[in-house]
Structure 1
């Protein structure tokens, strides 16, 4: 009987070849387990772990999962009414039915920190072999496909900030269960405010060496490891990669760092602004450009003196600027992420661009003859689902190219220039997304309705809780 992959013709000839190579590697390295994972709507990896013998056939047969995994908010609560006939429904997901994840064999790797364990990223399909319309990885694949008309590829470099702490207690008491559960008790590794000092780096060398060795053993293109400004805050940068690779890298990186740290007595978080004294917010700066397929030339590199970017690059920039407010829903998808927007905080607060100015949302780097010419978007937070963030960037940039959108002049004082403000809350970002007819069309009306529904469920839960600020402000006063 034909496998799921063969029945629905889901792989290219290259993927079939890679799958056979994966089987050979499972056998050659005597692996015991393989994790089949897919990025959910939040960019969190979910899936099943199979013993090696089952995993070899599952490459072609796929792995069935419960569809409610696609219907959860960040507390892991299913927010859609899957067992009744009313409310927002997505075709094929009623009754907590199954869907199938199918491995992309090119993404297979062996986890250096786990005993004889392989790992592979998967794409989501209905049990009838149709692309799941709410699958974020396949949404980015669709965005990349639109570059075919320009005969070019998407290139992105990652610059990711995060916090890491020493775990002070890993025991979970009976009262610590919940949805969500109790956060771990932690202490600082650095007191902060000694940005890029060698002494501070040397004092956390054990953690840095642990991360370096494990990430490089997993074949990640690590460039630098840095002490960031805030307490227990760090930054990693990576060499640019092409196509799906930057997004695949980001989801793997976050999960890898959290696993490596926890196994060694640390807690890592990509939460934008943890609740610790004197905290500095973490950002995710996304460097992007386009590369011509025929010769690999950077198409954003200007050809004339005085140009910041090529004409194509400037039009791409214009699209990013025009759709900045709507794309904030994907670049900054948590309530906490909007606490980053503070005066003169190195986080952008309005849709402007400038040459090499870190206060601008869109920072232009490069120039004539510089192959690294690129746009750095400084709006994102490190929790963002990379497939949705990058897809929204691609769609926005392509709109600029297709319509030759002028981004306007560079600004010298980004925090003082009169310009369209970025959203100041997740709800404002969701509202801006709904109002952007172009981005709604490109991301898909069904997907946008689904995404907004989940995000507004999170907002509704947040609004039900009384915050410490409210209690402190009003309990005694009134």
Structure 2
């Protein structure tokens, strides 16, 4: 992807010509991470070099609803004005499953004055990266994304189950790191790797995670915006491939009761742009003050920022005891029970792994969140708690336990509002409040089973 970073529109046109592209999927990621946009004939794409969409397209809930009133409309114009969407040439990829030569290009959102729309997810991540750049720093990240393969399920009232593999049987037990269990789905994964290669996605290792039908893909480390784009593309790719093999792929945080949840662990380090050196290590190879301050920032601000990376009511089912997910923001070296882990590495590769982020998080918002917390730690020189050397699952909860509680915590943390942008926080919070209200209208089977005749 290095050759694409400096692409301009002329380069983009040549790229499309070389591949004889006839259609272009013009994409913009919304708050949930869903691809919105239009499919244009190549000629119209070339003539327009962009498109218009309503502001609300990137600011709707997962149900497609909008608030009827309130602070949302202090940011979103009540007349739902158009945004001007401009393609980012560096994001162009082929659509490998399309029957005709088709490209996909991610667009940035601008208002009529030419300013980036502040509540668009890509804008939020750009904003945080710009704060690091102003300090002469470059964040480097590497996501690890978990997901489940399930049998097709067209009835939301039916429990999900593992899909049938090559053997003709479904998994019924946990197969962590099993090669044979991965091989059950070789045709699917061969297609995923083939599609990823054609799309120039920098995917690395595929492993079988703990749950039945649960997989994990790792990405090579790179700069945040490009990697968020890759996660965005990868999610589309996995879902499409799974459907072609008569199964579903889901990035829900907790899709199956009794099985572990799915996370998006994010490894992160910070480079000095002038020297290219990792600021987390001193010259003698010992951990630097910056390393400790970054961890301190994560510990200080992650609890208030949880709704950004645990965005749905389902997300909090993952963040509970005995689910292989963190319940607090303790930190430690090579300790997978903590929320903030530092893997064993060379001084040059010293990094921090944020383990609280769910697979259901929007990748742009998730990276913006963890970098914002670390940035505030660096700026405010926040010292972390003492390293957790034991089992952090035995420590008290230190994260919000529900979507409603998480929203309250975010609203009170003004420093995060300044870093991520007040307009974004307002729109995001109002959308999540709407989703929470929608969920509360639904009566669950648990309530009917245990309350109907007992209370």
TM-score when normalising by structure 2: 0.91
Counterpart check, 1:63 vs 2:51: yes
Contact 1:230–1:278 (CA<8 Å) still a contact in 2? no
Which one of 257, 261, 274 corresponds to residue 281 of structure 1? Answer: 261
- Cα deviation 1:116-169 (Å, max 9, x = unaligned): 110111111123322212112111111111112332211000101001124377
Structure 2 match to 1:188:
163
- Mapped to 2, the partners of 1:218 and 1:447 lie a distance apart of 30
Counterpart check, 1:314 vs 2:292: yes
- Cα deviation 1:160-190 (Å, max 9, x = unaligned): 1001124377xxxxxx8xxxx8899865243
- Mapped to 2, the partners of 1:162 and 1:230 lie a distance apart of 10
Q: How many Å apart are 1:256 and its aligned residue?
A: 1.8
SS at match of 2:73: coil
Counterpart check, 1:301 vs 2:281: yes
* Alignment map for 1:7-26 (pairs within 5 Å): 17-26=7-16
Larger deviation: 188-197 or 247-256? Answer: 188-197
Q: Which has the higher contact order (CA 8 A, sep 6+)?
A: 2
* Alignment map for 1:21-420 (pairs within 5 Å): 21-59=11-49, 62-81=50-69, 88-91=72-75, 93-115=77-99, 116-167=101-152, 187-189=162-164, 190-274=171-255, 276=256, 278-304=258-284, 307=286, 309-367=287-345, 369-415=346-392
Structure 1 match to 2:446:
469
SS at match of 1:106: helix
Structure 2 match to 1:440:
417
Seen in structure 2, the aligned counterparts of structure 1 residues 91 and 366 have a Cα distance that, compared at 3 Å, is: same
Q: How many Å apart are 1:280 and its aligned residue?
A: 2.2
Contact 1:340–1:347 (CA<8 Å) still a contact in 2? yes
Seen in structure 2, the aligned counterparts of structure 1 residues 87 and 292 have a Cα distance that, compared at 3 Å, is: closer
Seen in structure 2, the aligned counterparts of structure 1 residues 416 and 88 have a Cα distance that, compared at 3 Å, is: closer
- Mapped to 2, the partners of 1:99 and 1:416 lie a distance apart of 46
Seen in structure 2, the aligned counterparts of structure 1 residues 362 and 52 have a Cα distance that, compared at 3 Å, is: same
Counterpart check, 1:431 vs 2:408: yes
Larger deviation: 374-383 or 244-253? Answer: 244-253
Larger deviation: 462-471 or 145-154? Answer: 145-154
- Mapped to 1, the partners of 2:95 and 2:250 lie a distance apart of 20
Structure 1 match to 2:168:
none
Where has structure 1 moved over 4 Å in runs of 4 or more? 14-17, 181-187, 416-420
- Mapped to 2, the partners of 1:476 and 1:226 lie a distance apart of 45
Contact 1:15–1:104 (CA<8 Å) still a contact in 2? no
Contact 2:30–2:60 (CA<8 Å) still a contact in 1? no
Contact 2:71–2:426 (CA<8 Å) still a contact in 1? no
- Mapped to 2, the partners of 1:400 and 1:320 lie a distance apart of 7
SS at match of 2:315: helix
Seen in structure 2, the aligned counterparts of structure 1 residues 278 and 17 have a Cα distance that, compared at 3 Å, is: closer
Larger deviation: 399-408 or 154-163? Answer: 399-408
Seen in structure 2, the aligned counterparts of structure 1 residues 57 and 354 have a Cα distance that, compared at 3 Å, is: same
SS at match of 1:439: helix
Contact 2:224–2:367 (CA<8 Å) still a contact in 1? no
SS at match of 1:298: coil
- Mapped to 2, the partners of 1:91 and 1:199 lie a distance apart of 52
| Length, aligned pairs only | 445
- Mapped to 2, the partners of 1:183 and 1:244 lie a distance apart of 38
SS at match of 1:384: coil
- Mapped to 1, the partners of 2:58 and 2:151 lie a distance apart of 33
- Mapped to 2, the partners of 1:407 and 1:465 lie a distance apart of 41
SS at match of 1:323: helix
TM-score when normalising by structure 1: 0.87
- Mapped to 2, the partners of 1:252 and 1:296 lie a distance apart of 28
Q: How many Å apart are 1:58 and its aligned residue?
A: 2.7
Contact 1:319–1:401 (CA<8 Å) still a contact in 2? yes
Structure 2 match to 1:5:
none
Contact 1:140–1:390 (CA<8 Å) still a contact in 2? yes
- Mapped to 2, the partners of 1:166 and 1:470 lie a distance apart of 27
Q: How many Å apart are 1:102 and its aligned residue?
A: 1.0
- Cα deviation 1:212-260 (Å, max 9, x = unaligned): 1111221111111111111111110111011411211111111221122
SS at match of 2:43: helix
Contact 1:334–1:426 (CA<8 Å) still a contact in 2? yes
